[in-house]
Amino acid sequence: MISKLFFIQSVIFFLMFLPIYFLNVYGEEPILISISSQLDNVVFDGKWTTPDEWKQSSYNRLGFDDGTEIHLRTAYQGDFIYVQVNIASDKFIDKLADSALICFDTKNDKTTLPQSDDYCFFTALDAKKSFSYQGSDLPAINGYFTKITNDKDFVAVGSSSDKHDRYDKTPHPSYEFKIPLNLLGRSDNYGFFISVFDAHTKTHHSWPYKVDNQSIISIPSPSKWGDIVSPDKSLPEFNLSILFVVIFPIILSMQLFLKFRFSKSSLFLK
Ligand SMILES: [Ca+2]
Ligand SMILES: [Ca+2]
């Protein structure tokens, strides 16, 4: 009986830490994007226009050793993916110089050299123009990505936040993107890369974290990008990674425990 108990405890222990092993093997935990029914109301001014504007979206806090803090909101609705990149820790508003870049590997085949299914989108703070880039197997100044004509429905705006910001009332750079799915194609799993630049400290901060600081003229290989995944369509405003890391193992453990208790009491009944 003791050995059986030990076996079950071992299984429970293993299951509880399985997601952590999974994440380590995998590298970076994916960004989990949620579906929204409200983001078509977003006002593209770069910032939280109202305190509720981006409420119905997934949330990821990206923290860095130097204190840099990025609040990432992602969602999809209809024919678009919506992304807000909010650099709450950057208190220096460097117009036309602070910038943000987001990239999608639409087949998520993580090729070493960028391919035509890889896209990047760039905008700078208060810039009048934003730019789209597509992967190419021809070497280019920006590392195999060439500028393409913006899709007519593509929007990217960067500006200084204000009192409606959800994270910090001190003005800081914030960016809003609207990416057409007719460009990316529909998928529940894209490769994903994000990089922001603070002109004051002249530093880039990127996700996945393992990617060294990069610049617009040197976009890292898609093989180094992370993933943005759509696992569930009903849980807006909830960091779904909690489900994988904490709640699922607890439920599994409880089920195993109850099963064990049940079989034990069955034995007594006999
Ligand atoms: Ca806005
Ligand atoms: Ca700045």
Helices (H), 27-71: none
pLDDT value for 213: 55
Interval between CA 196 and ligand 2 midpoint (Å): 10
Helices (H), the chain: 2-26, 181-184, 241-242, 248-269
- The residue extents of the domains of the chain are 2-24+242-269, 33-237
pLDDT value for 269: 44
Residue bearing the bigger pLDDT, 216 or 125: 125
pLDDT band at 218 (very low <50, low <70, confident <90, very high): confident
Give the β-pairing of 34-35 and 69-77.
parallel
Residues 119, 96: contact at Cβ < 8 Å?
no
Interval between CA 86 and ligand 2 midpoint (Å): 12
Residues 6+ apart with CB under 8 A from 66: 203
Pick the CATH number of 33-237 from 3.40.1160.10, 2.60.40.1190, 3.30.420.40, 3.30.200.20: 2.60.40.1190
Residues 220, 210: contact at Cβ < 8 Å?
no
pLDDT band at 9 (very low <50, low <70, confident <90, very high): low
pLDDT band at 258 (very low <50, low <70, confident <90, very high): low
Interval between CA 66 and ligand 2 midpoint (Å): 14
Interval between CA 87 and ligand 2 midpoint (Å): 9
How far apart (Å, rounded) are the C-alpha atoms in residues 194 and 68? 14
Give the β-pairing of 131-135 and 173-180.
unpaired
Ligand nearest to the CA of 199: 2
214 is written with which tokens? Answer: 């990069």
- Any bridge partners for residue 104, and if so which? 119, 192
pLDDT value for 219: 86
Mean pLDDT for 195-216 is 84
pLDDT value for 26: 42
Mean pLDDT for 231-259 is 56
The CA R_g of the chain, rounded to the nearest whole Å, is 22
How much of the chain exceeds pLDDT 70, in percent? 72
Residue 234, SS3 per DSSP: coil
Interval between CA 49 and ligand 1 midpoint (Å): 4
- 142 phi/psi in degrees, rounded to 5: -100, 35
- Residue 184's alpha-carbon distances to 147, 180, 207, in angstroms, are 16, 7, 20
pLDDT value for 30: 95
How far apart (Å, rounded) are the C-alpha atoms in residues 36 and 15? 32
pLDDT tens-digit profile of 44-61? 999 999 999 999 999 999
Mean pLDDT for all residues in the chain: 83
pLDDT value for 61: 96
